[in-house]
Amino acid sequence: MARLILLTGASGTLGRLLAPRLAARGYRLRLSDIAPFPDPLPQGAEFVRADLADEPAIRALVEGTDAIVHLGGISVEKPFRQVIDANILGLTHLFEAARHDRQRIVFASSNHAIGFHERGETLDATDPMRPDGYYGLSKAYGELLGSMMFDKHGLESVHMRIGSCLPKPTEARHLSTWLSHDDLERLVVAALEAEATGCAIVWGVSANTRSWWAGDDAARIGYAPQDDAERFAPLPEEGDAITRRYQGGSFTAIDYSKDGAGQ
């Protein structure tokens, strides 16, 4: 019998992209989101509407599944109360629900967990996180939660620090941060299929010539990206001086009020 994968955030941009691709690979899918699934259900898929903030609902959602791809939640910078409900509470409910049967969680973390590193730096996944807002902070929490859950309970997780997952790059920053749709699929499948992952951190990027990111667990889980944003170069720079200075781009400039801005 094919494995049953819970895909949260199924009604969002990346969920709608991945659902038919995972179904085509033979996985059975339990799709879930707070919003209805707008497309025809892929072969062998069911849809369960649930709010990540609703703990009993998330426990029921996880029951009987073999692994989880967690894309659900707030996906941009928002006031912290909104971020807390979906991303902090929601993620904790999910990990707690998976503790008993130890379903591996493949978590959509984000480059905004490290967004305040400058663009000139090349980072290892072990470099200090420098979240660029409450959204990035919630992703940093997710990665630390995964670490604690593995050390304390043996619950495995793969944290995909996704850059910019788009059909194609549209601005200069994306030449470093782009994750092609095909590479996203490769990464998720590698994370699901790897024999053992422990708590792994993998940059969610294509093999970009101008990448800022190295030193992660990609090889260990068998992720080998195939695309490179370089074929779209050159692309225009976007935004103000703060946006252009930091890896997190425009998210770093939101509500930025440091004295001597940019120092």
CB of 23 to ligand NAI, least distance (A): 17
| Catalytic residue check, 135 | yes
- Residue 111, interface with ligand 15L (CB under 6 A)? yes
What CA–CA distance (Å, rounded) separates 249 from 253?
7
For residue 49, what are its two tokens? 């509407």
CB of 187 to ligand NAI, least distance (A): 12
- Residue 76, interface with ligand 15L (CB under 6 A)? yes
Using the contact rule CB under 6 A, the part of the chain among 28-36, 79-87, 107-115, 116-124 near ligand 15L is: 107-115
The answer to whether 246 and 115 are in contact (CB under 8 A) is yes
Query: Residues 6 or more apart from 161 whose CB is under 8 A from it?
Result: 109, 110, 111, 113, 114, 125, 139, 201, 202, 203, 204, 213, 216
Look up tokens 């062998």; give the residue.
44
The answer to whether 47 and 31 are in contact (CB under 8 A) is yes
Which option in ligand NAI, ligand 15L, none does residue 131 bind, with CB closer than 5 to 8 A by kind? none
Which option in ligand 15L, ligand NAI, none does residue 199 bind, with CB closer than 5 to 8 A by kind? none
- Residue 211, interface with ligand 15L (CB under 6 A)? no
Look up tokens 């996704």; give the residue.
162
108 three-class SS: strand
For the four alpha carbons of 170, 247, 231 and 236, in that order, the dihedral sign comes to: positive
Using the contact rule CB under 6 A, the part of the chain among 4-12, 109-117, 222-230, 237-245 near ligand 15L is: 109-117
Q: Which of 27, 134, 135, 246 is catalytic?
A: 135
Q: Rule CB under 6 A: which residues touch ligand 15L?
A: 75-76, 110-112, 164, 177, 249
Question: Which positions are catalytic?
Answer: 135
